[in-house]
Amino acid sequence: MIGGGRGSFIGAVHRMAAALDGHIELVGGAFSSDPERSKLSGADLFLDPQRCYGTYQEMITTEAGLPENIRIELVSIVTPNHMHFGPAMMALDHGFHVVCDKPLCLTLDEAKQLAEKVKSSGLLFALTHNYTGYPMVKQAKQMVAHGELGHIRRVVVEYPQGWLSTALETTQQKQAAWRTDPSQSGVAGAMGDIGTHAENLIEYVTGLKIESLCADLHTHIPGRKLDDDGSVLLRFGNGARGVLCASQISAGEENNLRLRVYGEKGSLDWSQMEPNSLVARWLDKPMQVFRTGGIGLFREAEMHTRFPAGHPEGYLEAFANIYRNVAYCLQANLTNEKAHPAYFDCPTIEDGVRGMEFIEAVVKSGKDDSVKWIKF
Amino acid sequence: MIGGGRGSFIGAVHRMAAALDGHIELVGGAFSSDPERSKLSGADLFLDPQRCYGTYQEMITTEAGLPENIRIELVSIVTPNHMHFGPAMMALDHGFHVVCDKPLCLTLDEAKQLAEKVKSSGLLFALTHNYTGYPMVKQAKQMVAHGELGHIRRVVVEYPQGWLSTALETTQQKQAAWRTDPSQSGVAGAMGDIGTHAENLIEYVTGLKIESLCADLHTHIPGRKLDDDGSVLLRFGNGARGVLCASQISAGEENNLRLRVYGEKGSLDWSQMEPNSLVARWLDKPMQVFRTGGIGLFREAEMHTRFPAGHPEGYLEAFANIYRNVAYCLQANLTNEKAHPAYFDCPTIEDGVRGMEFIEAVVKSGKDDSVKWIKF
Amino acid sequence: MIGGGRGSFIGAVHRMAAALDGHIELVGGAFSSDPERSKLSGADLFLDPQRCYGTYQEMITTEAGLPENIRIELVSIVTPNHMHFGPAMMALDHGFHVVCDKPLCLTLDEAKQLAEKVKSSGLLFALTHNYTGYPMVKQAKQMVAHGELGHIRRVVVEYPQGWLSTALETTQQKQAAWRTDPSQSGVAGAMGDIGTHAENLIEYVTGLKIESLCADLHTHIPGRKLDDDGSVLLRFGNGARGVLCASQISAGEENNLRLRVYGEKGSLDWSQMEPNSLVARWLDKPMQVFRTGGIGLFREAEMHTRFPAGHPEGYLEAFANIYRNVAYCLQANLTNEKAHPAYFDCPTIEDGVRGMEFIEAVVKSGKDDSVKWIKF
Amino acid sequence: MIGGGRGSFIGAVHRMAAALDGHIELVGGAFSSDPERSKLSGADLFLDPQRCYGTYQEMITTEAGLPENIRIELVSIVTPNHMHFGPAMMALDHGFHVVCDKPLCLTLDEAKQLAEKVKSSGLLFALTHNYTGYPMVKQAKQMVAHGELGHIRRVVVEYPQGWLSTALETTQQKQAAWRTDPSQSGVAGAMGDIGTHAENLIEYVTGLKIESLCADLHTHIPGRKLDDDGSVLLRFGNGARGVLCASQISAGEENNLRLRVYGEKGSLDWSQMEPNSLVARWLDKPMQVFRTGGIGLFREAEMHTRFPAGHPEGYLEAFANIYRNVAYCLQANLTNEKAHPAYFDCPTIEDGVRGMEFIEAVVKSGKDDSVKWIKF
């Protein structure tokens, strides 16, 4: 693991997600740019001090030199955005598979270089767009793919949070500090941090591509350098229209990602904060509610559920589905076993490139009040 | 009453709303442009055939000639949009107070003429933006006005319906037919029919004015002449940003008007389909749910509630609050009684003018992909 | 109308419910046992002072003497329980149809006398078990009757309120005072006031009869003379089991009547506080939500709905459905018209007798800790 | 681990729960009474075949003989009820701490022997009443303990499931088969399997003891040997009254454990299927909703949360809280560290004894229609 030392949020999430199904074992890491801190973080995790490194370069070169049956196979990159590209390229160069947190990197150019490298290396690269790991998101995707909604006409995705409603970054709060710092976060604030999740969720579920967009981005907190609130009009290749909102100053909101997809025959409504229900409303029959572990689900939804219906699965289980599928993919590489294709469903480098395209387009639109539509 | 004959939807709503509190008695009307149909409609209502007229002109002139203690005081106009202006002007000319359905008329120019007439006549003119009649909407308005949310930063209002997801207007369905006919409905479809409710609700609750907008309007149903789906980016005078959506092709949606207002300190969330709860989320304290008839309400909310908490009040009770307030206003004119000002709260001709300004701006923006922001 | 003077809650509800559909006109009443107060109450309602009487006896005898085209046809009794029997008997004796608030009277013996009288008179007698007037309750009844749930195994009905969590009756609050006074309310407190609604709702929806019960009734407020909290185990004729709870000291609860019916194949779940949804859960298919005005409803539900789906109907509309059906029944008497039988669905004198049987059985069980099951 | 081989449900849950926080490592087990199956199950888990045993006796004796730095410290017992007592006694005899699934054992007598043994051994014994591990349950307990509700008057706990609505046990479904077999499950069916969770939750949250009860237990499925549906009236030491329902034939219900606690000043409402919200309703202020990871929580709730608010935690995270607290307790034994007492909160052997007392009392009451109240 690269990053995820003491005080990190997402590092712990990756560790729990990887541990959940017992397929992946954490054996070492470069948990911090401060070697001492890295060792202490490793000790917290009962790891061999020998394998707790002071830099990712040291980790990758050292591990690459270990015997195959000992050395790591997979590197998880859980650092801030500006520290994704370097570690990812180097890990791939040394033959390690990669799981990387989102967004992919800082620029579309970096993203394309990474995509090239992944392609040429033949290694696995998974991006943790974890919200696509929810069973009811899989169900929604299948219902759309099977034409149950008919032609898609309208898509609404919103991702309001309230935690940046104050200048939290001025209080040494680590999560806020790097996310509002262009040198670590990139050109986008809320749009990069959560807007890309929203964009990925739309395209994952509907299979449609956003073709052009028109954004109004704003920074409400004086002195903040990146957008903290934005709304975007969307046009899709098939003629559908939509709206994407991503805000971190929506005071009182927790982590309220919600997707609604409207087709000719009916619509779907899913909320991350009550993730085990998928509401389907129809023109010609009563409203239905599909439930995690419940009845009438596609195999793709069933295969990403661990418990019987009514035993709520949450954020961590969805996140763990990404890691579990990574493990299945790696096993399949080794064994050529023929598992159900649904097991090989995890966000790819292409999703990462797409996210960077979105960030560049939405920031460009947000900065320019003279042009209405930006193609991308 | 003008309009509201057999087969009308909103006419019956106005009659029930007016009857609910026993302050207003329906004594006659021009219920249809077909005199025979008008008489039959009046007979359904147990009215004196003498006072069921074949045209609104006949009604207004005849009633104006009746002794003061017998003749009508108030005219309700519940016709399609193109039949608002003429009846309203004539009623005001003959000294009758007017309740008119929304939107006010067909053009901003008509709207301004009506506003002039109302002003010069000194008569009461109420527009049935009925959603402002809900107790929890009154509560929201007061919470914002009292600064409980602090400076308002973001407003999201959505009004999805699904009933026009098919070409219903081709099936002789009366409600669909006139709403999709520019000659009866005006330049806007969904934006005029329900978008104006959304616009009115935002400005009523927040007290803010939309300063500029950027719209994407679309017609999904082939052959339909007016917009049936639209999304609008909003900028407000105080720097707040927002989104307004109005759609009638959101398959499966019923009448799902929802308003969210985000301020520095917290946010409010209200849905018309569960109108007796107002959710307040805060940065510094637990989420609260205010309830119709419940505890901790402003007088303005309490005074628009009829029953103890838990006896659900709905669409009709909110609509009746407009009529009840009209009755209070007329009584106050007669008696100079000093009632609580909250009783004199009903949508005005200015709300109607504002609605027409919105329609003209949003349609202009929707038609023009080269200009991003339209001031209004 | 008998009762319902100034300060009454349910009297105003009856008036609004009767006025809503324009079929019934209030022409007079004995609104209070205090003649002066009765006249003032009538004046509030713009009634002819001549027809605002000081006693119900005066009203009934005087009205009976008026010409048929003038005199009242129907008497609404909205007094406390101890004042139901006398007025009802006298009204029936003089040939007036009766709408009476629940519970029917003070004792099972009175109830049986009334039932006899109704039968011999051939007049209409409707009891305002208003909760059966909700469209989704009609839908539930039809779904059970059509066997959609299969054999019914379990029924749970709860009716928690919190408004008597303090000794409100000691504060001159009129509603609390008579409901906690055995001389006005009868032998039961919460079980009579709201428990009978719960009992009626179960038997109305399921068509089953409670065969025996085992109750734990309690009075939590020192000095209160009647039960304010109770739970009852139920056994039904068909072998089904169930629970009925009625409490007025459930602090924080509003008016939270809820019914769940479990059959072999699935279950239904309805809550009065969100009355426009009926949730159906199934063994073999996804959960469904039926909606007032929505799709897939039985005619019986559709015919008790006034607006399109999403225009919430509430307590008053359900209450008005009782009055509207009374009006249809009376019209049918006059005209022998053949309307759909669903229109002739309103709670009867038999429901009233059944309610008194329930009160006597539940109070007997509540008083006796030595006998487990009371048949009734 | 004892039990939890292929085809087990709860075994996998225990493994994931133990792995989640990285404090506990699974090193071996007797996963099945079939040695071959036990080895295969261990292989699925990448365990050393040497430590996958054919019997629990073999496991305990062998492990007890291993060097201290290698041998297991803690035994998890995840077998059907009839296989709890033997393994637990033997594990304690050999100095191993125990985590045991609920209910504790088959009889109150066994339970008391185990309690004696735990006491004399000084070892840790934790019972997985996992629902007490939810943060909002901790919050509810603290709110009651701090008197926020005042004197508790009424408690309602329900635990409906529908999965045994058919004779599933006749289809070789392993979970159904043992739960409906008295020789493996004990004298109670639904009341033992889920009723004990409900009983434990009540007493955990309120701190009250059930003093007497009156039960109606029934078996709806022909041929089933144990209760599958029951309702119980409750009386508490402090004078509070209540109801407990546990049903496994409530068709369509998933795992719908819900607790409501009513006090003098307000009430709490928590549902396991939406576990991250705790609703508080008050006599004197607006309704509040406390949220996992949110604002205004007691430390006890905060310390059992892993993620920021809005990242839903579920069944597994609550279950893992039991294991995490077990790990903290064992660490504290070793290090005498002074952690916050809330960390040492996990269900004890006393909870297990209490559960067996409940089972014996409720089954006795259910069998006897002549006695109303059973003390316990």
Per-residue pLDDT tens over the stretch B46-98: 999 999 999 999 999 999 999 999 999 999 999 999 999 999 999 999 999 99
Is B289 in contact with D287 (Cβ distance < 8 A)? yes
* Subunits with 3+ C-beta pairs closer than 8 A to C: A, B, D
Q: What is the rounded distance in angstroms from the CA atom of residue D46 to the CA atom of residue D54? A: 17
User: What pLDDT score does A338 carry?
Assistant: 67
State how far the Cα of A176 lies from the Cα of D128, in Å rounded to an integer.
38
Cβ–Cβ under 8 Å, residues B110 and B85: yes
Chain A neighbours (≥3 Cβ pairs under 8 A) are B, C, D
Interface touch B282/D295, C-beta < 8 Å: yes
Mutation choice for D interface testing from C151, C159, C168, C243 by most D CBs within 10 A: C243
A289 contact residues in C (CB cutoff 8 A): 286-289
- How many inter-chain contacts (B to C, CB under 8 Å) are there? 104
In the structure encoding, which two tokens stand for residue C185, read together? 């309310």
Residues of A in contact with B281 (CB under 8 A): 162, 251-253
Instruction: Sort out which chain D residues have CB atoms less than 8 A from A22's CB and list them.
Output: 15-16, 19, 45-46
Closest-CA distance, B337 to chain C, in angstroms, reads 16
How close A176 gets to chain B, by Cα (Å)?
A: 16
Q: Quick one: pLDDT at residue C371?
A: 97
Q: Are C315 and B316 a contacting pair at CB < 8 A?
A: no
**CA of A215: how far to CAs of B237, B280, C218, D18, in Å?**
19, 28, 62, 46
Predicted structure pTM score: 0.97
* C-alpha torsion angle, residues C161, C162, C168, C173 (rounded to 10): -50
- From C282's Cα to the closest Cα of chain A, the distance in A is 9
pLDDT for C33 beyond 90 = no
A334 — pLDDT class (breaks 50, 70, 90):
confident
- In chain D, DSSP finds a helix count (H) and a strand count (E) of 13, 12
Q: What's the angle, vertex CA C213, arms to CA C211 and CA C216, rounded to 5? A: 170
Q: How far apart are CA B321 and CA B65, in angstroms?
A: 31
Predicted confidence at residue A29, as pLDDT, reads: 96
Q: How distant, in Å, are the alpha carbons of C196, D335, D373 from that of D233?
A: 20, 46, 9
Neighbours of B337 (CB within 10 A): 10
Cβ contacts of A253 on chain B, cutoff 8 Å: 262, 267, 281
**Nearest by CB: B310 against C273, C306, C307:** C273
Contact call for D262 and C242, based on CB within 8 A: no
pLDDT in tens, D284-328: 999 999 999 999 999 999 999 999 999 999 999 999 999 999 999
When CB atoms are compared, the residue of B256, B291, B316 closest to C254 is B291
Q: Is the pLDDT of residue B311 over 80?
A: yes
Nearest to C295 among A286, A290, A296 (CB): A286
pLDDT digits (tens, 9 = 90+) for B14-37: 999 999 999 999 999 999 988 899
Residue at C365: amino acid letter: S
Q: How far is B155 from chain C (nearest CA, A)?
A: 22
Mind telling me how many Å the CA of B222 is from chain A's nearest CA?
13
How far CA A361 is from CA of A154, A187, A375, B365, in Å, comes to: 21, 11, 8, 21
- Which residues contact residue A66 at a Cβ distance below 8 angstroms, ignoring those fewer than 6 apart? none
Task: Specify the range with the lowest mean pLDDT, choosing from A339-343, C320-324, D213-217, D271-275.
Answer: A339-343
Measured between beta carbons, the chain D residues lying within 8 angstroms of C166 are 283
What's the mean pLDDT in A19-23? 92
The pLDDT value recorded for residue D8 is 86
Q: What are the start-end ranges of the H helices in chain A?
A: 10-20, 35-44, 56-64, 85-93, 108-121, 135-145, 174-179, 182-185, 190, 196-206, 299-302, 315-335, 349-367
> CA of B308: how far to CAs of B318, C136, C162, C176, in Å?
15, 22, 12, 13
ipTM of the complex: 0.96
**What type of residue is D335?**
T
Q: How confident is the model at residue B332 (pLDDT cuts 50, 70, 90)?
A: confident
Q: Which residues of C touch A (CB under 8 A)?
A: 282-291, 294-296
Q: What values do phi and psi take at A281, rounded to 5?
A: -115, 140
Nearest CA in chain B to A372: B372
The closest alpha carbon to C30, from C45, C9, C13, belongs to: C45
Q: What share of chain D is helix, strand, coil (3-state, %, to 5)?
A: 40, 20, 40
DSSP state of B73: S
Residues of C36-64 as b/e, b for ≥16 C-beta within 10 angstroms? Answer: ebbbbbbeebebeeebbbbebeebbebbe
Inter-chain residue contact A312 with D256, CB threshold 8 Å: no
Range of weakest confidence among A29-38, B124-133, C151-160, D59-68 = A29-38
For C224, how many CA atoms within 13 A lie in the half-sphere containing its CB? 27
| % chain C with pLDDT above 90 | 93
pLDDT at B342: 80
Rounded-to-integer distance, Cα C294 and Cα C302, Å: 8
Which chain C residues are closer than 8 Å to D147 by Cβ?
A: none
Cβ separation A296–C288 shorter than 8 A = no
Residue C334 has pLDDT above 90, yes or no: no
Residue A357 structure tokens: 């395209």
Write out chain D residues lying below 8 Å of A316, CB-based. Answer: 20, 306-307, 311, 313-314, 316-317
**Is the CB of B266 less than 8 angstroms away from the CB of A252?**
yes
The residue among D281, D292, D295 with the most chain B CBs within 10 A of its CB, best to mutate, is D295
Q: Is the dihedral of CA C60, C62, C65, C71 positive or negative?
A: negative
pLDDT tens column, C75-108:
999 999 999 999 999 999 999 999 999 999 999 9
Q: What percent of chain D has pLDDT over 90?
A: 93
- Cβ-based neighbours of C48, under 8 Å, separated by 6 or more: C27, C28, C42
Q: Which residues of C touch B273 (CB under 8 A)?
A: 276, 310, 312
Q: C370 vs chain B: nearest CA distance in angstroms?
A: 37
* Residue (of D322, D308, D345) closest to D23 by Cα position: D322
**Which pair of structure tokens corresponds to residue D353?**
């004894």
What is the rounded CA–CA span in Å between residue D285 and residue C251?
Answer: 11
Residue B341 is predicted with a pLDDT of 79
Within 8 A of C280 by CB-CB distance, chain D residues are 252
CA B239 to chain centre: 26
CB contact under 8 A, B291 and D288: no
**Residue contact B262–A250, C-beta within 8 A:** yes
Chain C nearest C-alpha distance from B252 (Å):
10
Q: Given D153, D253, D267, which is nearest C281 (Cβ)?
A: D253
* Mean pLDDT, range D239-248, rounded to an integer: 98
Instruction: Please compute, for residue B66, the number of CA atoms within 13 A of its CA located in the half-sphere on the CB side.
Output: 16
